[in-house]
Amino acid sequence: MRIIISYLLLCGSLWAHSIVPSPAEFEAKQGHFTWSGSLRLSTPEMCRARVTSVFQQMDLSVQLSEPDQAAIRFEQASVKNPHGFRGAYEIEVAEKIIHVRAAEREGFVHAAETLRQLAEKNTMPCCVIRDWPAFPLRGFMVDTGRNFQSMELLREQIEVMARYKYNVFHFHFTDHPGWRLESRIHPRVTDASSMTRLPNKYYTQADFRELVAYCKERGIQLIPEMDMPGHSEALRKALGIQSMNTATSRTILKELLTELASLAPAEDMPYIHIGTDEVGHRAEKVDGTFVTEISTHVRSLGREVIGWHKGLNDANDQKKITHLWARTPPLPKNPFLDSRSTYINHMDPHETVFTFLHRAPCQVAFGDARARGGVLCSWPDIRIENERDQIVHNAVYPAMVAYAESVWAGVERDKGELYAANLPPIGTPEFDACVIWEKRFMRQKQLFFSNENFPVYEQTQMRWRVIGPFPHGDDLTKIFPVEGALHEAYEYEGHLYEWMPQRFGAATLYYNHFFGFGGLVKEKQGTCYAFTRIWSPDERTIQAYIGFHHSSRSDRRGNESATLGEWHHSLPWIKVNGEKIPPPTWKISGKKDAETPFTDEDYQMRPPVSVKLVKGWNEILLKVPKHSKGWKWSSTFLPISHTDGLRYSAEW
């Protein structure tokens, strides 16, 4: 845990809470730097435009001046940087002057973002900050091959990335539904007839150059991914390719790669990602020379090669950066990027807040020549009707804020998959750290986001106890003794069932995780119950998030259909003071496929539910069955408005 955490435990300063990601060192001083009107600013030429832009976004008027006359001085100098990765900086805020020091442009850009978070109206607390990244590459990936995103939306996400010190924009612009980048060598790649979604939606070469420049201004490198030989249906259809393995096909790919590299110099775009994962169609099958030939060509263009792992690899190529996904271990010698369990399309929004807090990128405390860092990935494979749905459905901005803490600051003690799904039990030091983190996290929402774009609320105040699973033999209608009366234990079919001794404080509970880690029970099916009590000082109606078995937005597993009159086809329910809360009237019922957009399947996609509370204690009981063929096993209940004065307890 970084130095800032121990400081927070001692004094609980809101100023420190507001800084995300955590500075490596934070020392509070007496007093405040205050201003009225404009401030004199001096900066090196290399960072002047971006620093000035950040201050303008803060509604802070600045006048450029000589260093000896400036109240805010950006000065190029050596700074503390134990790991040696670009981006380190120092800030010294005194009552009359602010000194900012960095060795290179990236450090100044990051320092400006820290000042943005320190500012409160016309004041900043006096302090000394020394900060440096734990990993050299800290990325976010968008998939525009499947679902095109406007330049406006891409710029918005890149701006948020800069705020939280990301430095890699992974741009996945090719996939089965569409090749989304103009080619002047092979112009047919963007033919509308080759696209199965959003035909004629693609980026011009001018758009691409603009994205590279927009990223560079914010200290971010764009890494383009031209996925091959798999995920290539649109390319094959556009150019009439029958096999990705022929000499002609390889020549086409190399020509497209050469054209891609011509759009940005190597110093601005030093990496090219060639995909190589999920080769399924027979036209995509290639022999063992394919990856070697393509990688050699990419290097001839002055770029480093990145490819997915699991994916096609050249066993003799130990220079290729392997990009890990699923639960794939790194190769013994190759450098690697880590996207294992960073696919936010699989995650519940409130899960994203904490899942990275105890999981170290690359499973190490800080990077090195092999452990390059991590990339947060958003894979909205299902067709999207409204492009902003990608932001809300996948809780992109909460995930960005949370992952930044891990990939910039590092995680000193990797807990692996232990707390990947559920928060640590209440009363443990790990849970206390989550409470502290939540305060800083929610401060970011207050400062920079709206509820619509940030569908996450405070949750560590919740108190749950859980029992189960009771065996139902795939009869989801089966009733168990918990539904009759609440007791500490139940005897059922010769077995004793007791409530778990731990208490849990979270909005979403995973009973058994779909990827096999961090669940509350080891069984794969059955019926669990969750119980909590809410004390209200008066009779009132609150708004609450309620949901069961949330979706993986990259596919339809777990939400292939909706059952009218039920919360989910697995027949869960929620009772408040003994009365069932009716589910929504689903917009789409029956079978759904990859071309059916998500509408209201998950709680963040629909209005919150009105729940009536009586004065005093209110009992909430959830029944959460899972079928043997089910995909996810989770429940969510969280009051999000009219919550003043509420208290929570798992005791009866």
pLDDT digits (tens, 9 = 90+) for 116-150: 999 998 999 999 999 999 999 999 999 999 999 99
Assess contact for 549 and 630: CB atoms under 8 A. yes
Assess contact for 239 and 189: CB atoms under 8 A. yes
Per-residue confidence at 14, pLDDT binned at 50, 70, 90? very low
Average confidence (pLDDT) over 44-64: 96
Computed over every residue of the chain, the mean pLDDT equals 95
pTM across the whole model = 0.96
* Amino acid letter, residue 375: V
Q: Locate 485 and state its tokens.
A: 């009366």
Contacts of 283 (CB under 8 A, 6+ apart): 232, 236, 241, 242, 243, 244
How confident is the model at residue 514, as a pLDDT? 82
Q: Locate 231 and state its tokens.
A: 């995920």
Q: Which residue has the higher pLDDT, 589 or 546?
A: 546
Q: What are the angstrom distances between the C-alpha of 310 and each of 88, 283, 299, 307?
A: 33, 19, 21, 9
For tokens 């170290």, the residue is: 360
Residue 623 has pLDDT above 60, yes or no: yes
Q: Locate 174 and state its tokens.
A: 């090719």
Q: What are the angstrom distances between the C-alpha of 144 and each of 31, 176, 202, 224, 374?
A: 48, 11, 9, 11, 20
Burial class (CB in 10 A: 0-12, 13-18, 19+), 310: middle
Distance CA 390, CA 395 (A): 8
Quick check: do 3-131 and 137-417 share a fold? no
State pLDDT tens for residues 189-233: 999 999 999 999 999 999 999 999 999 999 999 999 999 999 999
Torsion sign (Cα): 179, 180, 181, 184: positive
Q: Give the strands of the sheet with 89-93, arranged side by side.
A: 25-34, 123-131, 89-93, 98-102, 72-76, 39-42, 62-64
Assess contact for 48 and 63: CB atoms under 8 A. no
- Give the number of other Cβ atoms within 10 Å of residue 316's Cβ: 6
State pLDDT tens for residues 537-560: 999 999 999 999 999 998 888 778
Assess contact for 513 and 519: CB atoms under 8 A. yes
Half-sphere exposure of 642 (CA within 13 A, CB side): 18
Contacts of 278 (CB under 8 A, 6+ apart): 230, 231, 311
Torsion sign (Cα): 608, 610, 615, 620: negative
Contacts of 385 (CB under 8 A, 6+ apart): 597, 599
Q: Give start and end residues of each alpha helix (H) in 472-546.
A: none
DSSP state of 181: B
Residue 8 has pLDDT above 60, yes or no: no
For domain 3-131, the CATH class is alpha beta
Q: What residues does each domain of the chain span? A: 3-131, 137-417, 457-649
Q: What are the angstrom distances between the C-alpha of 367 and each of 222, 412, 641?
A: 20, 12, 41
For domain 137-417, the CATH class is alpha beta
How confident is the model at residue 1, as a pLDDT? 41
Residue 82 has pLDDT above 80, yes or no: yes
Residue-by-residue DSSP string for 35-81: --S-EEEE--GGGHHHHHHHHHHTT--EEE--GGG-SEEEEE-----
State pLDDT tens for residues 245-298: 999 999 999 999 999 999 999 999 999 999 999 999 999 999 999 999 999 999
Average confidence (pLDDT) over 324-329: 95
H/E element holding 217? helix 205-217
Q: What are the angstrom distances between the C-alpha of 562 and each of 476, 599, 601?
A: 15, 11, 8
Per-residue confidence at 6, pLDDT binned at 50, 70, 90? very low
